């Protein structure tokens, strides 16, 4: 290969890497407190045990929604999510949605995922069945989270595993963070404490 071709490949990889790093550091806040156009509480999802759960069951507390995966570099955030749950369980529900959408990093079935989370991280917060968080078959919850015509302001889908969305006690989507933002960071806990 010529030096010119190698230079172009290097520059492409460099800018691609910078773009990816910026994506995983996403930190978007609903500073105007824009209200949703449709209610999150009208939605439902199937738990990891196969039970249909209405999101209206989670009213009156903050709700942190995270797309999770067992074979990701961010999988250790299960530990942080569990600590967040233990410390703030009177203020926040944590809803974890396994997804295989990013480099097939969640290959397990629901039973395997539940066992992995319990055995390795002692997870006690709410786990749901494996879903799609992007693409044509996106789950209605993630469609709501990433459609400003529904949630009022945000149009960003998860950029990778362990992207986080926070809905406040009034059902307003107040924040969206990329996977590099730890669940225990002040970015998130400061909004939970409000």
Active site amino acids:
72
Q: How far apart are CA 136 and CA 134, in angstroms?
A: 7
Q: How far apart are CA 171 and CA 151, in angstroms?
A: 9
Contact assessment for residue 54 and residue 44, using Cβ atoms and an 8 Å cutoff? yes
CB burial of 54-85 (b: ≥16 within 10 Å; e: otherwise) equals ebeebeebbbbbbbbbbebebbebbbbbbebb
Contact assessment for residue 122 and residue 82, using Cβ atoms and an 8 Å cutoff? yes
In a 10 Å sphere around its CB, with 0-12 CB exposed, 13-18 middle and 19+ buried, how is residue 192 labelled? buried
- In angstroms and rounded to an integer, the radius of gyration of the C-alpha atoms of the chain is 17
């Amino acid at each position: 290969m010529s030096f010119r071709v190698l230079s172009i490949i290097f520059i492409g990889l460099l800018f691609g890497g910078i773009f990816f790093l910026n994506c995983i550091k996403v930190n978007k806040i609903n500073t105007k407190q824009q209200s949703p156009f449709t209610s999150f509480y009208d939605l439902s999802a199937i738990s990891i045990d196969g039970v249909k759960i209405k999101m209206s069951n989670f009213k009156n507390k903050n709700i942190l929604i995270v797309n999770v995966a067992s074979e990701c570099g961010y999988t250790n955030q299960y530990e942080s999510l569990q600590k967040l749950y233990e410390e703030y369980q009177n203020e926040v529900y944590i809803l974890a949605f396994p997804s295989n959408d990013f480099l097939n990093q969640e290959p397990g079935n629901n039973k395997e995922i539940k066992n992995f989370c319990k055995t390795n991280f002692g997870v006690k917060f709410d786990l749901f069945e494996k879903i799609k968080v992007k693409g044509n078959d996106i789950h209605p919850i993630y469609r709501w989270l990433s459609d400003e015509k529904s949630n009022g302001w945000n149009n960003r889908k998860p950029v990778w595993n362990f992207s986080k969305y926070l809905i406040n006690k009034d059902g307003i989507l107040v924040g969206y963070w990329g996977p590099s933002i730890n669940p225990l960071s002040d970015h998130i806990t400061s909004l939970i404490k409000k």
